[in-house]
Amino acid sequence: MMKIENRLKFTLNALQFWKIFSFLAVFALLFSPTLEAQESKKKKESRKVRLELKNRPSIRFGDALRVDVRAKVQTDFRSFSPQVQTPEGTFDLHRGRVGLEGQFLKHFEYEIERDFRQSLANNDQRYPWKDVKLDFTYFDNFQLLVGKFKMPFGLDETTSEHETDFSLRSRTADDLSPGRSVGGMLHGRFFSRGVSYWAGFFRHDGENGRNHNGQPIAGQTFAGRVTGTPIRELAVPEFLRPLELGMGYTRSDVPEGLSSIRGNAYSDENLIAYAYVKGPRERMGVDATLITGPFSLKSELVDLREAREGQGIYLEDLPKKLSRGWYASVTWVVTGEKKEGGVTPRKDFLKGGPGAIELAARFEQIRFGTAKHIGDEFRSPRSPNFRAQSDRSWTIGVNWYTNRYVKIQADAVNEQIEDLTRSPIPGTKGFWLGILRLQFVM
């Protein structure tokens, strides 16, 4: 009896399955033309050329190519006390860039950007072409970037200027970080983006490290940077887990010449004379970033050493020229928006809201000199001992994000210069700088 019952159950189940199968087959036969039409429609849509205006003008050539139009405009109003004459003057068109960026064939990302200030405001620009780069992104862990772009060194320097917390970058970034160069670089992420790296070779030592003639230092340069979030999985307070630590290194062989790193005040006055150098130029940098909710804390330290092989008056080796800089900053978005990923106002000012308001403060110091050596200090470019020079400053500011595209920054900077003979006004130690920046980024 049990066998007969089992056979009956099997037969009933088989019949039930056959009914369901037959129904699905009939459904497929009846509606397959519609499904095929829908699939065909999707394929046609993927081949269409269309214009999108979500956050910025974007042209889509199906799934094969995306072209986004970018624009970055920054205008500055500056005032010094005591009054200092600067190349920019009271009003300065600080940025006037137009660019294209996007993706093609799924695994290639590109960016082309040029600054048109020279033609718009008759500004003297040595390097109007900014980022011109192509990134092959097929592998998450090993992506290849080639072209002209910023070398992977420095927290402040590698942050896009329209995303910085202050109107002006730190002196550490402007004077000691290398800036842009032409080259190739591998980069990627490991451990669920817990560790990121960048490493590459470049044609010269960056546009920031120019010689006395204003030209980049010739010679191949290696640059590398690693960042990570080492405590995100540890049993620590949650607000500490996003802490990110970074470390960078560069090395280049500098040919003989008056090619040492410059040091400038915020007025663009040169703080230390160029020196004759020859041999390795090395940078070491460490930094830390903690962004939690509306708050951020950032700090960076850079140590730069330049060899002076055979640069003495008797062709002897001289002590290395040393340049060191550091800063620490804090920001607070008082309207409550999150700082991570950039501040976006919850209530647009143009739609009746207050926008987003952020307070910021920074203290920094940069110092120039030589390694320890017996003897007096001189200013000669071949002196074994340079007269030490330092520049300390603190900045307080307010950032007003009126909407996604417009940011207004107001900063007050107090600067104290050690060597008064190289002050923008000889004999004057302290300066105040007030700066108002209007920014539009699309």
Q: Which helix (H) or strand (E) holds 328?
A: strand 318-333
Q: Which two tokens stand for residue 218?
A: 């010739």
pTM: 0.84
Query: What's the pLDDT at 216?
Result: 76
Q: Hey, what domains does the chain have and what are their CATH numbers?
A: 73-441 (2.40.160.10)
Query: What's the pLDDT at 63?
Result: 85
Q: Quick one: which of 174, 149, 159, 192 has its CA closest to 342?
A: 159
Residues of the chain with pLDDT below 50 are: 2-3, 5-7, 9-38
Q: Which helix (H) or strand (E) holds 38?
A: helix 2-47
> pLDDT tens digits for 6-56?
445 444 444 444 444 444 444 444 444 444 444 555 555 556 889 888 888
Q: Quick one: which of 258, 254, 217 has its CA closest to 381?
A: 258
Q: Give the Cα separation of 128 and 115 in Å (integer).
A: 5
Provide the 3-class DSSP secondary structure of residue 18: helix
Looking up tokens 């817990």 gives: 194
Query: What's the pLDDT at 134?
Result: 97
Query: What's the pLDDT at 47?
Result: 62
Query: What's the pLDDT at 375?
Result: 67
Query: What's the pLDDT at 121?
Result: 53
